[in-house]
Amino acid sequence: MSAVVIRGDARALPLPDASVDLIVTSPPYWSLRSYTDGGEHYDGQIGDESTPGEYIDALIDCTREWVRVLKPEGSIFVVLGDKYSDRADGGPSSAPRRSRLLLPERYRIACVDRLGLTVRAVIVWHKPTAMPEYVTSRVRTVHEDVVHLVKQERYFAALDEIREPLRAPRRKAGAKAFGARNTCLPRTATGDYEGQNPRGAVPGSVWEIATQPLRVPEHLGVDHFAAFPPALVRRIVLGWSPEGGLVVDPFGGSGTTALVADVHGRRGVSVDRSADYCRIARWRVSDPRERARALGVAPPPVVADEQGALFDDSEVAS
């Protein structure tokens, strides 16, 4: 299989109705960054709206399009961060200065109220390597929300693919731990704990996954500051898409979703309005070292340019 990179709009995907098995994406966050093409800001980009309300409206327009292309049994996973109000009078957000705008929560509620989607889970992506913050009166923000949306009650899931190693239940101190509701389960003859799946435990709703820097080759002439860590996408792709299925990222950026889908036997599609980011994605989905990183294996050794010519036309003796 090979991943496909398309320059297009998340609000008008060039895909047929009910053709996609899984959507994994992270829209641009509101009023955070100006995205460019050839170094120039382009109009109409998501996140550039005047108010948080207009931003949510734009995200719902995008999501309505994703619902169109999603199969009935498909899933949508959206990573979305929040922002603090910086206006003394609340400004366009109507929130007091220094208040969280609650954009992930507003988006989830709008998906249910306006689109009739079901929120199956809200996953907390804990980032142990989060950027430092200078704060003196609140906790640091070290997480982002990942919402899991579906169209119908029954949908594809393969949680056996992402189970985690079993752990012995922790014994509570004191005699009360051994009452009728004792959580310390006895072990079976095989060493497994009774009442638990021997293949492992289903992941919980908090995922600790470190961010990973993306080093883009200088010849591409563009930087990307907010690439997904492949480990985050890998768990979603394996758990909620079938082998050979179609996995799409409507805000493809550097192409992480398409790359991870491709190396794990799915058909990955990355869509982005920026020609610059499409250029990064095309490099990334074909680069051997990036593909190894997406698989979670050691990358191949780097071969110097002058060494490559030694093996171009030579025959290897058996």
d(CA 90, CA 92): 6
Strand ranges in the chain using DSSP code E only, listed in sequence order: 4-7, 20-25, 36-37, 40-41, 70-80, 118-126, 143-150, 206-208, 246-249, 267-272
For 78-99, give one letter per residue: b (16+ CB within 10 A) or e. bbbbbbebeeeeeeebebeeee
Which residues touch 287 (CB under 8 Å, ≥6 apart)? none
Is 123 within 8 Å of 205 (Cβ atoms)? yes
pLDDT of residue 311: 44
Retrieve residue 86's tokens.
């910086």
Query: Rounded mean pLDDT of the chain?
Result: 84
Sorted by where each begins, the domain ranges of the chain are 4-164+204-310, 166-201
* Conformational region of residue 47, where left means phi above 0, alpha means psi within -120 to 50, and beta covers everything else: left
CA distance 316 to 50: 63
Contacting residues for 221 by C-beta, under 8 A, at least 6 apart: 276
| pLDDT under 70: residue ranges of the chain | 1, 32-36, 39, 41-42, 87-93, 168-195, 223-226, 303-318
The 3 state secondary structure assigned to 185-243 is: CCECCCCCECCCCCCCECCCCEEECCCCCCCCCHHHCCCCCCCCCHHHHHHHHHHHCCC
Q: Which of 180, 65, 82 is nearest to 124 (CA)?
A: 82
CATH 3.40.50.150 fits 4-164+204-310, yes or no: yes
| Residue 213: predicted pLDDT | 82
- Six-digit token pair at 280? 């990064």
Q: Are 235 and 207 in contact (CB under 8 A)?
A: yes
The distance in angstroms from the start CA to the end CA of the chain is: 31
DSSP strand pairing (4-7 vs 267-272): parallel
Instruction: Please give the Cα distance from 185 to 195 (Å, whole number).
Output: 8
**Share of the chain residues as helix, strand and coil, in percent rounded to the nearest 5:** 30, 20, 50
Q: In angstroms, rounded to a whole number, what is the distance separating the alpha carbons of residues 283 and 217?
A: 9
Give the largest CA-CA distance in the chain.
Answer: 77
Whole-model pTM: value is 0.85
Q: How far apart are CA 191 and CA 202, in angstroms?
A: 18
Count of beta carbons in the 10 Å neighbourhood of residue 312: 6
Burial 5-22 (b: 16+ CB within 10 A, else e): bbbbbbbebebeeeebbb
